[in-house]
Structure 1
Amino acid sequence: MATPRLVYDDDCGFCMWCVRWALWLGEFEPVGFSELSPDQKARLPDDYENCMHLLTDGAAYSCGEALTQTAERCGPVPRAVVGLARKLPRWEAIREKGYRWVADRRAIWGRYASAECPQ
């Protein structure tokens, strides 16, 4: 299996900070929006710049599910937390609403946690 590609907004310091954490905890190939190949873009939704994505050999995950899939690949503790969270009633709705809430405020989060480059 190829290394999963973590697609993120490379114009967002908070997004890059999050990618750094993912790279520290797991094995991913970081791909900024500005670096996407035509083949990679074709696998993403039209509004791909609204959230993060995880591209694997067999699937493309977006937004909250991309975050969940990324966390599951970051070691036993994040994997266990995701496993427990998946058991919550209405987990998918909670996950997406939470993801959107954080993503819509990334300029604020970037004041506290920001990075220049994920690699």
Structure 2
Amino acid sequence: MEYVPKLVYDDDCYFCTWSATFAVRRGNIQPVRLSEVQDGESRLRDFEREHLPEDFEECAQLLTEDAVYSCGAATEEALVIAGVLPRRPIEFLRRFTTYNWLREKTYHTLSNNRGIVANVFGRDPPVSDHVPEEDVYPDRASGKRG
């Protein structure tokens, strides 16, 4: 069975819900509500939960088969998986400290102003209200996603 990357997002945030919906609709990514992770009720497996950083509640987390990405890196990798950003140039840019700093600075600027940003880019939580059920629960899907 193919591993489906999981995006842990703040399900109290309209901008976060919009962002997660965007990624889920375009890529093979499963949304996971932060509130459910905090309550211990999410569909994360034990090994996935164990790999989350201590401060996982501070920003978006993307769990892939090979790594855990946090904050700006999580958003960036979700966009790569979704085909919005090209993998090779992004992998090249990740070698540079200034690029990584700028990516994280941009993420945190948007995050710190998400109430304002949500006026333009926002959706009512949760993501499951905006995408097909098989995108939220890929294990229930009868066939592979294309």
TM class by shorter-chain length? 0.7 to 0.9
Q: 1:47 to 1:88 in 2, by over 3 A?
A: closer
| 2:99 alignment partner AA | W
Q: Based on CA coordinates, which of the two structures has the bigger radius of gyration?
A: 2
* In 2: Cα distance, 1:54 partner to 1:85 partner: 20
Displacement of 1:108: 1.2
Structure 2 length-normalised TM: 0.70
Determine if contact 1:71/1:82 at 8 Å carries over to the other structure.
no
Structure 1: gaps spanning 5 or more residues: none
Structure 2: gaps spanning 5 or more residues: 129-146
Structure 1 segment 8-47 matched on structure 2, within 5 A: 8-36=9-37, 37=42, 39=46, 40-47=48-55
Structure 1 segment 53-92 matched on structure 2, within 5 A: 53-75=61-83, 77-79=84-86, 83=90, 86=93, 90-92=98-100
Equivalent pairs: percent with the same residue?
35
Report whether the alignment pairs 1:108 with 2:121. no
Displacement of 1:15: 0.3
Q: 1:91 to 1:48 in 2, by over 3 A?
A: same
Aligned residue in 1 for 2:138: none
The alignment yields a C-alpha RMSD, in angstroms, of 2.4
Aligned residue in 2 for 1:51: 59
Aligned residues: 118
